[in-house]
Amino acid sequence: MELSIAIVHHHRLLREALTLGLSQNAFPIIHQARDLEQLTTDIGVINPTVLLAEACRPLDKCLECLRRFRCVAPECKVIMLEVPNQDETILACIEVGGISGYVVEEGSFNDLLRTVRAISTGESICSPRLANLAFTRISTLANRFYDSRTSEISCLTRREQDIMEAIERGLSNKEIANELKIEVSTVKNHVHNILDKLHLQNRRSAARYAKEHGFVARHQTHAS
């Protein structure tokens, strides 16, 4: 990555000190701003690849400003400075603010240099504790998603599940009727009920739903 760094901090002295220190380490600083609102206004003139942003208080307002900034500069990597060294706070900065790196409140200038270097090579610096927490959070979200999909599938009758499996295999209504030994009109009624229960538009979306969410695999496991 060809670096061009912008710095946002409400203290002018700290902005200038960071500019001096980073410049002495061959990191080009192209812009300084007192807050994210000012930087968002200036973004049409500048085009930073990395943003060093103060974790100002209240943090929720700061993250909201950061979201707005990322809407106008989605490719810019964000490193948040002076982040409280609390797991949930750091995760919130990553999840809500979409940051690529951070330096905690008690972090040093060398910590910042390591973080900037990592970001410039497409990497991130993450403590083992935070990595474990992030994996736990991802697992929790994945389980919630799976549980919600399982709940949707459970609302289908066994016959509707059989028809969903047949739809995923690409069978027509007539072919499904022959396979299940029921009337074509009955198949049509079941398909209509399936689309209604799963909030789907057509047979194609039903087949895609079954494939994307592993419905057939779960149904076959249940049947065996």
How many CB atoms within 10 Å of residue 104?
Answer: 18
In order of their start, the domains of the chain are 5-126 (3.40.50.2300), 146-223 (1.10.10.10)
Of residues 84, 85, 116, the one with CA closest to residue 100: 116
Peptide bond connecting 28 to the previous residue in cis, omega within 30 degrees of 0? no
Longest dimension (CA), the chain: 80
Question: What is residue 218's predicted lDDT score, i.e. its pLDDT?
Answer: 47
- The per-residue DSSP string of 166-207 comes to HHHTT--HHHHHHHHT--HHHHHHHHHHHHHHTT--SHHHHH
Question: What is residue 51's predicted lDDT score, i.e. its pLDDT?
Answer: 93
Is the separation of the CB atoms in 193 and 160 below 8 Å?
yes
Is the separation of the CB atoms in 76 and 68 below 8 Å?
no
Q: Where are the alpha helices (DSSP H) in the chain?
A: 12-24, 36-42, 59-72, 87-95, 109-120, 128-154, 158-168, 173-180, 184-197, 203-212, 215-223
CA distance 29 to 8: 11
Is the separation of the CB atoms in 81 and 103 below 8 Å?
yes
CA distance 85 to 201: 47
Alpha-carbon separation of residue 174 from 94, 166, 171, 186 (angstroms): 51, 11, 8, 10
53 bridge partner residues: 8, 80
pTM for this predicted structure: 0.59
The answer for residues whose C-beta is within 8 angstroms of residue 146's C-beta and 6 or more apart is none
The answer for residues whose C-beta is within 8 angstroms of residue 59's C-beta and 6 or more apart is 84, 89, 92, 93
Tell me the residue type at 222: H
- pLDDT 10s digit of each residue in the chain, 224 long? 689 999 999 999 999 999 999 999 999 999 999 988 888 887 777 889 999 999 888 888 888 888 888 888 888 999 999 988 887 788 888 776 678 888 989 999 999 999 999 998 888 776 666 667 666 766 665 665 555 555 556 678 888 888 988 998 889 999 999 999 999 999 999 999 888 888 888 888 888 887 776 655 444 544 44
In the structure encoding, which two tokens stand for residue 176, read together?
Answer: 């499904």
